[in-house]
């Protein structure tokens, strides 16, 4: 383990943890939470099983009573992160008025809020995806594809209804996605902006990018 704290160069918040419904109880949950902290701060390769175990109050060998390998721990974290992300976008879209502009705002707000509410989970889900053994990657990438598809469909619908004016749909999609992704790296509760304010601003940015009339 490194002798320096590099948190500030990776994510700003030491905020709490995992989505309520998704966290297992007992040691399984504690291991998951502490692994998340360490993976977010030092990366998958920079955090050892023994480091995780120590924070969880057990010994390294005991981790294997709960998870078959270190990769399984990472896989579960990334799965939780992507499922929470998709779940939020889905329900936001379901609750939104059918106007294209309001749909876009709803999706972008959900996207941003997911990254501000669980910054560590978002950082690990995105930045450590490359460390995930390929046998675990397929279902994750499918979740990712579905989230992206929802945003894409909202933009396309807005275009075909004449509500949006986009030069390049795909680039707009990528740009809007990227804006939100990055929030996890700098958001902290100590900021003078609430997640709501950020979500509102980014929703507005997205509307401007796609040329949404209002």
Partner DNA sequence: ATCGTAGGCTAACGATCGTTCGTATGTCAA
Partner DNA sequence: TTGACATACGAACGATCGTTAGCCTACGAT
Please tell me the distance from the alpha carbon of residue 173 to that of residue 181, in angstroms, as a whole number.
12
Please tell me the distance from the alpha carbon of residue 181 to that of residue 116, in angstroms, as a whole number.
9
Selection from DNA, a second copy, none that 189 binds (CB < 5 to 8 A by kind) is none
Q: Among residues 60 and 177, whose Cβ is nearest to DNA?
A: 60
Verify binding: residue 130, a second copy, rule CB under 8 A.
yes
Verify binding: residue 133, a second copy, rule CB under 8 A.
yes
Verify binding: residue 160, DNA, rule CB under 7 A.
no
Which residue, 129, 84, 124, 116, is CA-closest to 183?
A: 116
Nearest distance in Å: CB 193, a second copy: 7
Q: Among residues 30 and 75, whose Cβ is nearest to a second copy?
A: 75
Q: Among residues 42 and 88, whose Cβ is nearest to a second copy?
A: 42
User: For the packed helices 195-209 and 169-186, what is the interaxial angle rounded to 10 degrees?
Assistant: 160
Verify binding: residue 4, a second copy, rule CB under 8 A.
yes
Residue numbers 135-174 binding a second copy by CB under 8 A: 137, 141, 167-168, 171-172, 174
Please tell me the distance from the alpha carbon of residue 43 to that of residue 211, in angstroms, as a whole number.
38
Verify binding: residue 1, DNA, rule CB under 7 A.
yes
Instruction: Give, for 31, the enclosing helix (H) or strand (E).
Output: helix 27-42
Please tell me the distance from the alpha carbon of residue 145 to that of residue 158, in angstroms, as a whole number.
20
Nearest distance in Å: CB 37, a second copy: 14
Q: Where are the alpha helices (DSSP H) in 43-69?
A: 49-56
Verify binding: residue 62, DNA, rule CB under 7 A.
yes
What are the Cα distances from residue 136, in Å, to 8, 21, 83, 142? Answer: 29, 22, 14, 11
Q: Which of 27, 146, 169, 188 binds DNA (CB under 7 A)?
A: 27
Please tell me the distance from the alpha carbon of residue 166 to that of residue 172, in angstroms, as a whole number.
7
Q: Is 134:183 a contact under the CB 8 Å cutoff? A: no
> Which residues of this chain interact with DNA, rule CB under 7 A?
1, 26-27, 47-51, 53, 58-66, 68-71
Chain contacts with a second copy (rule: CB under 8 A): 2, 4-7, 9-10, 41-46, 127, 129-134, 137, 141, 167-168, 171-172, 174-175, 177-179, 181-183, 186, 193, 197-198, 201-202, 204-205, 208-209, 211
């Amino acid at each position: 383990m490194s002798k320096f704290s590099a948190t500030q160069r990776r994510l700003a918040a030491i905020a709490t943890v995992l989505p309520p419904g998704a966290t297992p109880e007992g040691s399984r949950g504690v291991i998951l939470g502490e692994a998340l902290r360490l993976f977010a701060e030092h990366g998958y390769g920079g955090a050892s099983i023994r480091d995780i175990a120590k924070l969880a109050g057990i010994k390294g060998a005991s981790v294997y009573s709960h998870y078959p390998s270190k990769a399984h721990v990472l896989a579960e974290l990334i799965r939780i992160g992507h499922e929470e992300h998709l779940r939020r976008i889905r329900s936001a879209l379901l609750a939104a008025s059918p106007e294209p502009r309001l749909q876009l705002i709803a999706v972008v707000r959900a996207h941003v809020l997911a990254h501000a509410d669980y910054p560590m989970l978002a950082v690990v889900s995105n930045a450590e995806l490359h460390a995930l053994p390929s046998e675990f990657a397929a279902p994750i990438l499918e979740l990712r594809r579905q989230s992206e598809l929802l945003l894409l469909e909202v933009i396309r619908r807005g275009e075909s209804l004449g509500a949006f004016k986009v030069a390049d749909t795909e680039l707009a999609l990528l740009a809007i996605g990227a804006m939100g992704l990055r929030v996890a790296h700098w958001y902290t509760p100590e900021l003078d902006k609430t997640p709501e304010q950020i979500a509102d601003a980014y929703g507005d940015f997205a509307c401007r990018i796609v040329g949404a009339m209002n």
